[in-house]
Structure 1
Amino acid sequence: MSDCGCDCGCNDVQSKEQESNLLECPTCGEEGKGVPFDVIKTFINKDLRRDITNGEFYICLNSKCKTAYYNKNGDYLFSINGIQKPIWFKEGSKPKIACYCNDITYEQVKKAVNQYDLRSWKEIVLHYNEKIICKCSKLNPTGECCSDNFNKVIDRF
């Protein structure tokens, strides 16, 4: 069971492999982290997705950098303007999304905490949705479980 309260194992699977899969962003020079190809297929705008082939892709972790994703060979570089949903840690992202699988924003977390005294990922997700969806390796821009970030958002409020 992962920290988020789901039982899909999303928190256990990806981190070790992705932690060792790092590559400098060609735009800002800061470290980027490997992401599953499913993330690329999910986030890149359809018109840009057409010619993308499977391979090693990375997300730029610099909040100020306008690059979202890039590949190892330098064939592909996608800006934050070329993706379908904002990446929560990038400057200016609106709305800031706390849970991509269940489409929960920071504002919704704030409301759930302050108005309903909900304090866990599971409680908050079920407050807004009838069922829980957990496909972080495809729906989260980093390909990782959102529970760490989600819990930090809860703690802010």
Structure 2
Amino acid sequence: MSKTSLFSSEKKDNDRTIIPLKIGSCNKGEKIFFTENVLCPLCNKTGQHVKSITVKHLIKQELMDRLGVEDYFLCMNPGCDAAYYSATGTVFEKSDITVPLWFKDDAEPKYACYCSEITEEQVIRAMIEQGMTDMATIKKLYDPGAKCQCHLKNPTGKCCTEVFTKAIDKGIILETTKKM
């Protein structure tokens, strides 16, 4: 693989740098548009970049006509009503998507794994009641035929390992506290 810059071109747009990226062979030439410093229109906090394919699979069917081709940002502010927003001004609120966002204050349930619909509560229960501390073992307990589809089912479009591990750690802390 030749050593070329990931940045195929850059342009300035109202104090934002818009950088079209072409990443590896996984995307088969698809361009990902990543915009720096795009703040959530509802809370003014910086969000996490998410590909439009993820948003397409998680917004309610009746809102598909509002979905553009651009990539989106996930508002990570627990108290904000925004779920996804774009650099072009499109906003999808929590009520516009089909799954709860585990990190939002009012999320119910709080999923540790969206692909298998395993909740944080189930992970903690498996840890406390059965001593399971391994993600793969816990996933097999609740969904033996689990298939990873994080890019479509997880609101971040990324693997749930970090969130799942935090749920296991939470169970370990609860179990340790209980024994004291």
Normalised by the shorter chain, which TM-score bucket? 0.7 to 0.9
Task: Using the aligned pairs only, state the percent identity.
Answer: 33
1:37 paired residue number: 52
Match of 1:129 among 138, 143, 149: 143
Per-residue deviation, 1:18: 10
- Measure, in 2, the Cα distance between the counterparts of 1:100 and 1:21: 27
Distance 1:134 1:73, change over 3 A: same
Unaligned runs of 5+ in 2: 1-25, 27-31, 172-180
Contact 2:123/2:168 (8 A) holds in 1: yes
- Measure, in 2, the Cα distance between the counterparts of 1:52 and 1:19: 17
Q: Tell me the alpha carbon deviations over residues 43-80 of structure 1, each in whole angstroms, 9 at most, x when there is no partner.
A: 11111113422112111011111000011111x11111
Q: Tell me the alpha carbon deviations over residues 12-31 of structure 1, each in whole angstroms, 9 at most, x when there is no partner.
A: x9xxx999855211110101
Structure of greater Rg: 2
1:57 paired residue number: 72
TM-score by length of 2: 0.73
Count of aligned positions: 141
1:86 paired residue number: 100
Which has the bigger relative contact order, CA under 8 A and spacing at least 6?
1
Unaligned runs of 5+ in 1: 1-12
TM-score by length of 1: 0.83
Distance 1:26 1:151, change over 3 A: same
Aligned amino acid, residue 63 of structure 1? P
- Measure, in 2, the Cα distance between the counterparts of 1:82 and 1:112: 32
Aligned amino acid, residue 39 of structure 1? T
Distance 1:140 1:18, change over 3 A: farther
